[in-house]
């Protein structure tokens, strides 16, 4: 098994590396290849991987380079973790969204669409290099928005691309918390369908051998309360967990359906009145400012995290150090349930594993074309990937998911074709305030502010949103 980590200095890769190195496939000659534009970060990650307890037992080499083409030949899996353009344009887009009354995020939002347009050419270039050097390899895209980038690659190249999300394991925590305990459980068999950050847990899902929704009916009522959270979580995480699990509970009580993952931007598209605010007149964008203090704070936090990571690379770590949850160093932990870990080990096995990724529908979800990209439950092994069932979106959310999935699939088409009319159609299909003044102002503002980054052809789409 030969695995390439693009954006390989990202700390989240370490837990994945520990997990895959523990797999039987790595008993045979294998390699982990780290590509990062920052050679120092790549080298530090390589050092950390070689320090892991699992590496000593695996038949594996570690390579690193800044040139992806040198690392691709013979690869079985290529994983991508990047943020195109960096934090400044991303925060600017978030600010523009808020000014127009819209939610901003890196995934299910108008700012997520701009992130896709900036990052799409990068991922398409990776896919084209893979066509030359490793055409049979799988591309696992962790770069957001994963659904859009999966659509672009799958519909416009020969490379198989799965859009993967850390939120894949959220249900293991979310459901257990809804049932009264702050813990993760693998005792769930989940069937899900929707779009990334807004998929729904379907009626066929189970806890052990019992229907999940029967258990939820017994456990969730007006007296429900959030369980006490463990010391594993820092204060910020505890606040986010409490807020989002409570939102899951409220949506379940209102609609009778449970959202697959407690991602705030997905939940906002159900709680529209609370998170989207119609405006009556066009905002003065010249008066908007990027929160530079927040950017500096995030830069400082990243620098501190990098320093801790590098310090670990120069320290003798015990097995206890590697396996004890530390709120400041959770990257050390083996991450067996990470969707990248599951897919990589499944590709090296004859035994299918159950996952959920953003991929072409291929008839899995009723009411959508084969080329529409959706998130749904799948089985994957060395023999390929197929839907784990025949699924239906809950009728109350069919229209919303149809609009979001069409929006994201068309964005993928716009990335690949560079056609401004297709980009306009993609934006038009975003199902919030469709073709209302505030949505026209929003898309025009975002496209104009991103004109240089997305290129002249696509920037012409702003003309379709003229007042």
Quick one: which of 364, 343, 390, 34 has its CA closest to 162? 343
Q: What's the pTM value of the predicted model, to 2 decimals?
A: 0.94
Domains of the chain, each with CATH number or no CATH: 2-165+310-347 (3.40.50.720)
Q: What is the mean pLDDT of residues 39-57?
A: 97
pLDDT of 467 reads: 66
Q: Span 191-206, mean pLDDT?
A: 98
Least confident of 116-125, 169-178, 281-290: 281-290
The answer on pLDDT for 287 being more than 80 is no
- Residue 200 is predicted with a pLDDT of 98
pLDDT above 90 for 114: yes
For residue range 351-369, what is the model confidence (pLDDT) as tens digits?
Answer: 999 999 999 999 999 999 9
Distance (Å) of CA 129 to CA 70, 123, 391: 10, 10, 35
Percent share of the chain, pLDDT over 70: 100
Q: Nearest-CA neighbor of 125 among 74, 84, 166?
A: 84
User: Do strands 258-259 and 353-360 pair parallel, antiparallel, or not at all (unpaired)?
Assistant: unpaired
| Cβ neighbours of residue 250 closer than 8 Å, sequence gap 6 or more | 271
pLDDT for position 103: 96
Residue 97 pLDDT: 95
Q: Model confidence over 77-102: pLDDT tens digits?
A: 999 999 888 888 999 999 999 999 99
């Amino acid at each position: 098994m030969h695995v390439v980590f693009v954006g390989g200095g990202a700390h989240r890769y370490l837990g994945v590396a520990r997990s895959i190195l523990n797999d039987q496939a790595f008993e045979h000659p294998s390699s982990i290849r780290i590509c990062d534009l920052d050679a120092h970060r790549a080298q530090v990650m390589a050092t950390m991987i070689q320090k892991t307890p699992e590496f000593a037992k695996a038949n594996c080499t570690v390579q690193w380079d800044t040139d992806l083409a040198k690392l691709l030949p013979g690869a079985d899996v290529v994983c991508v973790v990047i943020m195109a353009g960096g934090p400044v344009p991303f925060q600017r887009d978030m600010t523009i969204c808020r000014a127009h009354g819209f939610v901003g995020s890196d995934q299910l939002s108008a700012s997520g669409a701009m992130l896709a347009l900036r990052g799409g050419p990068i991922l398409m270039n990776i896919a084209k290099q893979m066509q030359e050097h490793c055409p049979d390899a799988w591309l696992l895209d962790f770069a957001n928005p994963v659904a859009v980038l999966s659509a672009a690659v799958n519909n416009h190249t020969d490379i198989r691309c799965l859009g993967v999300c850390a939120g894949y394991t959220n249900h293991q925590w979310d459901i257990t918390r809804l049932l009264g305990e702050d813990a993760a459980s693998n005792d769930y068999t989940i069937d899900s369908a929707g779009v990334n950050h807004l998929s729904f847990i379907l009626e066929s899902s189970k806890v052990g051998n019992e229907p999940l929704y029967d258990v939820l009916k017994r456990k969730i009522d007006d007296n429900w309360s959030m369980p006490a959270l463990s010391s594993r979580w820092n204060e910020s995480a505890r606040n986010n967990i409490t807020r989002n699990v409570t939102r899951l509970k409220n949506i379940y009580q209102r609609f009778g359906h449970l959202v697959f993952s407690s991602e705030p931007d997905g939940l906002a598209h159900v709680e529209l009145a609370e998170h989207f605010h119609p405006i009556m007149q066009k905002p003065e964008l010249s008066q908007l400012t990027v929160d530079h203090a927040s950017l500096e704070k995030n830069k400082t936090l990243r620098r501190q995290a990098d320093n801790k990571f590098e310090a670990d690379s120069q320290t003798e770590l015990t097995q206890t150090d590697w396996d004890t949850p530390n709120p400041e160093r959770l990257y050390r932990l083996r991450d067996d349930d990470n969707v990248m870990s599951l897919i990589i080990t499944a590709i090296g096995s004859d035994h299918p594993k159950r996952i959920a990724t953003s991929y072409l529908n291929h008839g899995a979800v009723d009411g959508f074309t084969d080329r529409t990209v959706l998130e749904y439950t799948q089985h994957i092994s060395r023999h390929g990937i197929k839907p784990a069932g025949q699924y239906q979106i809950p009728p109350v959310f069919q229209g919303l998911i149809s609009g979001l999935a069409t929006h994201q699939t068309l964005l993928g088409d716009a990335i690949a074709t560079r056609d401004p009319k297709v980009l306009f159609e993609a934006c038009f299909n975003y199902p919030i305030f469709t073709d209302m003044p505030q949505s026209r102002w929003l898309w025009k503002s975002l496209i104009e502010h991103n004109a240089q980054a997305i290129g002249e052809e696509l920037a012409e789409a702003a003309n379709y949103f003229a007042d």
